[in-house]
Amino acid sequence: MTDISENRDPIMRSWYEWEIDGRERKMILIVETDVPLQPDENGYDVLILEDLRAAAVARSHASPGAIDRIRIVPVRY
């Protein structure tokens, strides 16, 4: 088992986006990672994915505004 939190931050980049529907606005935290997200990917590990989820939630709690959703996306090279 690899504890990613001991080695490095699983989040490569993050940013905020708005989702607007009429008068409603949702704030979305986008988290970009190189952690394998699909079970058929080489290196996929459920425990590492849980570390990523926890890091994303922690980042949303540290945000100055309310976050409505978190979206985790693979890094684009």
CATH number of the domain to which 35 belongs: 3.30.70
How long, in residues, is the chain?
77
Q: Is the pLDDT of residue 76 over 80?
A: yes
pLDDT tens digits for range 21-59:
999 999 999 999 999 999 999 999 999 999 999 999 999
What letter represents residue 14's amino acid? S
Distance, in Å, from the CA atom of 64 to the CA atom of 62, rounded to the nearest integer, reads: 6
Q: Is the pLDDT of residue 8 over 70?
A: yes
Residues 8/41/45/34 CA torsion (nearest 10 deg): 20
Total number of domains in the chain: 1
Which residue range forms the structural domain that includes residue 52?
4-74
| pLDDT of amino acid 60 | 95
Q: Is the pLDDT of residue 5 over 60?
A: no
| pLDDT of amino acid 77 | 78
Neighbour count for residue 67 (Cβ, 10 Å):
17
